[in-house]
Structure 1
Amino acid sequence: MTVLPPVPPNALPSQRDAWKAMFALSVGFFVSLLDQTMVAVALSGIQHDLGASINQVMWVSAVYLLAVVVPLLFTGRLGDIYGQRTVFRIGITLFGIGAVACALAPNIEFLIVARVVQGLGASIQMPQTMSVINRVFARERRGRALGVWGIVGSVATLTGPLLGGFLVSVFGWQSVFWVHVPFAFLAVVLVTVWVPALPTTARQVDYVSVGVSLLALGALVFGIQQGPEVGWTWKIWLLLAAGAVFVGLFVWLQSTAPRRGTQALVPVQLFGDRNYSAGSIAIVAMGFMAASMMLPLMFWLQDFKGLNAGEAGALVAPMAVVSMVLSPAAGALADKLAPRILAISGFSTLIVALAAAAFIMGADLSALWLLIPVVLLGVGQSFVWGSNAATTMRDVPPRLMGAASGVYNTSRQLGSVLGVAVASAAMQMAQGALGLVHAVFVIVVALLGGLVASLFFRDTLHSNT
């Protein structure tokens, strides 16, 4: 087994080696996304088998998301300090161990704790993928690379519910966790062989900032996540207010890090890059949409049009197929066109698609009409995911890549948490299909915010304007 030698500072591996590294890392990315789409299919079986309450079963998903999001700022920086390859292998190994523990869980409490372990592993490995891709590919080729990388997300989105349904029906709910183990093992082997040992770029950890970031994100994510569940009580608002205070304290700590003789967890100079700031805001909108749009669509298809879960899943499957086919081409265009062109085209297409879906749902048209916005959603997403990542990260210095990737992933995940909470609240504010239409329009508003943010992109690849 030949292991790639360390890469000297400021040097890039060959394009062939860069593509092999991306493939190896994508195995870990794939299995992380596969988990999120498969576990939902298994929740009913888990509840029945372990004698769990609805609230306990919901925590199987919720606690995983908490464990992923809350440490992301810190885990992104770990790659800069200890090396992305090493940290990725630790994360994916922990993810695999957590999956084994989940499959062997004798009760719901054990399963929830095992999901924390699994989520922490995903949080550790997730930022390293983007960091390495942006360090091994030349800046003028990153759009193509991230476009191909986007296929992984589309395949996982398409495969998860179908594979999960088959596994649960044939082998039981434990199988959705066992299936992660070979992927995790393969990822460790391929990353060891194909991902070079990149030079580390940071030496210190500001543990005060780490603690404050955990408190800030923990309070915000938990508050947003549980708000709809408990009816937005004063305790939730107090928790959110505390989270906001901790965010302010965290920002102050980052700005004063040099005076305190340490390195910032999130260097403030990142936000001096206009593309990085705009892209980090735009990805919040994409996370919002990706996590929430299936809620109103699936409720409408099943509760109002009478489709079963399999039929509803098949009707929206073209979205992932279209995205999978177009993502490589869209990624290649990201290396040729001004970033605003792709971003405006993508966000505009998504907005039109969801507005059309809202009209179809409100007018109670045939479910087949939904195929039109579903296809448009696949087109719009393919123009945004890869190109936004490439534009956002393209000019980040290698020494800050881990921190930048951590912030970017945190922004996306916070958007996801916010999307589910807000869409759920909108669905409950009105009776019948009207509540579902309201939820879709809430997502449209979020995408409008992403569109406005993308207007601030500058074409740094082709000109100085």
Structure 2
Amino acid sequence: MSETPRGSTAKWWALGVLAMTELVIVLDNTIVTIALPRAQEELGLSDGQRQWVVTAYALAFGALLLLGGRIADYWGRKRTFMAGLLGFGLASTWGGLVQSGLELVTARGVQGAFAALLAPASLAMVTVTFPRGRDRNTAFAIFGTVAGAGSAIGLVLGGVLTEYASWRWCLLVNIVFVVIVIAGAVLLLGESKAEGDNRHDVGGAVTVTLGLGSLVYGFTLAEHGWGSADTILFLALGAALIAAFVVVERRVRQPLLPLRVVLDKVRGGVFVITAVMGSSLIGALLYLTFYFQLVLGMSPLVSGLANLPMTVVIFLCTPLATRFLGRFGPRPLMVLGPLISAAGLFCLLGITSEGNFWLQVLPGLVLLGIGLTMLFVPSQSLALAGVAPEDAGVASAVVNASLNIGGSVGLAVFTVIYANSFGAATRRGAVDVDAFTEGYRATFLAAGVAMVAAALVGYFLVRGRKEDLLPAWEDEDGADAVHAR
């Protein structure tokens, strides 16, 4: 069943509402990053709690996305979307009013849980609103660009709010977005959901959520040593639960994640690349922000503006990447994008404690913007190509889960790498700013190596053609093979 807008004007206004939702979800990954030094000082956060302000959101978001995607498919995408919006707004209000570090981490986790309802519902609605042709590619390019630029926009907006209002407004500002999106959703969005007798896969939901949570928590514990009993226990428990999830999904009649969604070679490659992109993007931007404020002494506002070149490059390059996609297909973008992003991260290895933004940072940001654009434009569309309408929500969830779980794991691993490098520098007698800088360089190196590995995945697995971007319900002549209605 689908009542999504079909008019040529209405569907583009609907895309605007959905894209704004994606912007809010993504920028909340980074908007608090700029505010963390101020929040840490006011609330007395430990360094571990500081990391968890970012990790709690990404972990809850990523771990619950599959369940959120199935709820959207079965309960109704607009209904799920509205429930997610209201919950997200309330959690943001709570986060802006907290009085302790534990409260802030908890509020961020609740935010992420409601974002797990919002994200798959909004992307699934884009899928059924734009079922074919050039409009579909354009819609996904816009949606992907907003997702890509959202991280950098969050850093700029966070800097402005922290500098001129309070770090708390980095959370309270979501209320404004939520009110606007609710009004637009009521007027412009129609309902759609999968038909039939749909039942939720409780066993799958429990095993995958606990499994992903255990894995990420295990990686965060690795800061105290990879060989520690707690680290090994949680990593092993996470792996066992994920294996149990696969067994459950093979046996239940209506699985939370139909394995056909992820076992496709091309789609699986895109999910892997998206996870690596999430780890590198979240980790690199977090530690670059710390470099700006703790080493170069930038204010929150200037620190946020320092990330603006990457956002500008993303917007400028999107039309070119979209045209490139239409002419050459997705594979060249999925190989060149990670390589150019890696080049940008390797450029950041030149940072020093004295610092020169124009020579040491700006070239890396420009290359990152180019590379990320080449990934954002095709990844959403390619990951959903060939997916049946009834699986649109869960496939959308896997895309977002890959990005956020990748970000959670990446941030945990990069924190371990940073801590080890910082500790080694201090043992050699380095002063704090030099030790900080050495730790940040180590994280950029690790992120760059990960992006090179992603390029190899793109080369060997992503062999999609232009025609492969067609949805499952459209044949090559443009006719509906399976109607979304």
With normalisation by structure 1, the TM-score equals 0.88
- Residues 179-208 of structure 1 deviation map (CA, whole Å, 9 limit, x = unaligned): 111211221221222122124246111111
Q: CA deviation at 1:33?
A: 2.4
Match of 1:386 among 357, 377, 382: 377
Name the CA shift for 1:450/1:190 in 2 (closer, same or farther; >3 Å): same
Q: CA deviation at 1:113?
A: 3.4
CA separation in 2, counterparts of 1:240 and 1:439? 22
Is 1:152 the equivalent of 2:146?
yes
Which residue of structure 1 lines up, in the alignment, with residue 2 of structure 2? 7
Name the CA shift for 1:277/1:139 in 2 (closer, same or farther; >3 Å): farther
What's the secondary structure of 2:131's corresponding residue? Answer: coil
Pairwise CA RMSD of aligned residues? 2.8
1:32 maps to amino acid:
I
CA separation in 2, counterparts of 1:364 and 1:46? 26
Q: CA deviation at 1:291?
A: 0.8
Match of 1:194 among 188, 191, 215: 188
Name the CA shift for 1:421/1:91 in 2 (closer, same or farther; >3 Å): same
- Residues 192-250 of structure 1 deviation map (CA, whole Å, 9 limit, x = unaligned): 2212212424611111111111211121122223432x444321211110110011111
- Residues 438-461 of structure 1 deviation map (CA, whole Å, 9 limit, x = unaligned): 322211221122212222223343
2:35 maps to amino acid:
A
What's the secondary structure of 2:467's corresponding residue? Answer: coil
2:451 maps to amino acid:
L
Is 1:64 the equivalent of 2:57?
yes
What's the secondary structure of 1:462's corresponding residue? Answer: helix
Match of 1:185 among 164, 167, 179: 179
Name the CA shift for 1:444/1:103 in 2 (closer, same or farther; >3 Å): closer
Q: CA deviation at 1:282?
A: 1.1
CA separation in 2, counterparts of 1:110 and 1:437? 32
What's the secondary structure of 1:429's corresponding residue? Answer: helix
Which residue of structure 2 lines up, in the alignment, with residue 361 of structure 1? 351
268-277 vs 68-77, which moves further: 268-277
Which residue of structure 2 lines up, in the alignment, with residue 92 of structure 1? 85
2:440 maps to amino acid:
L
Match of 2:208 among 189, 199, 213: 213
Q: CA deviation at 1:19?
A: 1.9
Which residue of structure 1 lines up, in the alignment, with residue 401 of structure 2? 410
CA separation in 2, counterparts of 1:219 and 1:122? 20
Contact 1:349–1:379, Cα closer than 8 Å, also in 2: yes
Contact 1:330–1:382, Cα closer than 8 Å, also in 2: yes
Which residue of structure 2 lines up, in the alignment, with residue 461 of structure 1? 466
Which residue of structure 2 lines up, in the alignment, with residue 423 of structure 1? 414
Q: How many residues are aligned here?
A: 451
Q: CA deviation at 1:308?
A: 5.4
What's the secondary structure of 1:248's corresponding residue? Answer: helix
CA separation in 1, counterparts of 2:117 and 2:294? 39
Contact 2:307–2:365, Cα closer than 8 Å, also in 1: yes
CA separation in 1, counterparts of 2:43 and 2:352? 39
1:140 maps to amino acid:
G
CA separation in 1, counterparts of 2:199 and 2:260? 17
Match of 1:78 among 66, 71, 85: 71
Which residue of structure 2 lines up, in the alignment, with residue 451 of structure 1? 455
Which residue of structure 2 lines up, in the alignment, with residue 398 of structure 1? 389
Contact 1:92–1:188, Cα closer than 8 Å, also in 2: yes
Which residue of structure 2 lines up, in the alignment, with residue 134 of structure 1? 127
Which residue of structure 2 lines up, in the alignment, with residue 239 of structure 1? 234
Q: CA deviation at 1:80?
A: 0.9
CA separation in 1, counterparts of 2:129 and 2:339? 32
Q: CA deviation at 1:56?
A: 4.2
What's the secondary structure of 1:244's corresponding residue? Answer: helix
Name the CA shift for 1:63/1:158 in 2 (closer, same or farther; >3 Å): closer
Is 1:34 the equivalent of 2:27?
yes
Which residue of structure 1 lines up, in the alignment, with residue 333 of structure 2? 342
Contact 2:211–2:238, Cα closer than 8 Å, also in 1: yes
Q: CA deviation at 1:90?
A: 0.6
Which residue of structure 1 lines up, in the alignment, with residue 443 of structure 2? 439
2:192 maps to amino acid:
L
2:390 maps to amino acid:
R
- Map 1:283-362; keep pairs closer than 5 Å: 283-298=274-289, 300=291, 310-358=301-349, 360-361=350-351
Name the CA shift for 1:155/1:278 in 2 (closer, same or farther; >3 Å): closer
CA separation in 1, counterparts of 2:101 and 2:212? 25
Which sections of structure 1, spanning at least 5 residues, go unmatched?
1-5
- Residues 33-69 of structure 1 deviation map (CA, whole Å, 9 limit, x = unaligned): 2323222333344444445555445443333233212
CA separation in 1, counterparts of 2:17 and 2:80? 14
Contact 2:382–2:468, Cα closer than 8 Å, also in 1: no
Which residue of structure 2 lines up, in the alignment, with residue 24 of structure 1? 17
CA separation in 2, counterparts of 1:247 and 1:218? 10
Which residue of structure 2 lines up, in the alignment, with residue 277 of structure 1? 268
Which residue of structure 2 lines up, in the alignment, with residue 3 of structure 1? none
Contact 1:281–1:411, Cα closer than 8 Å, also in 2: yes
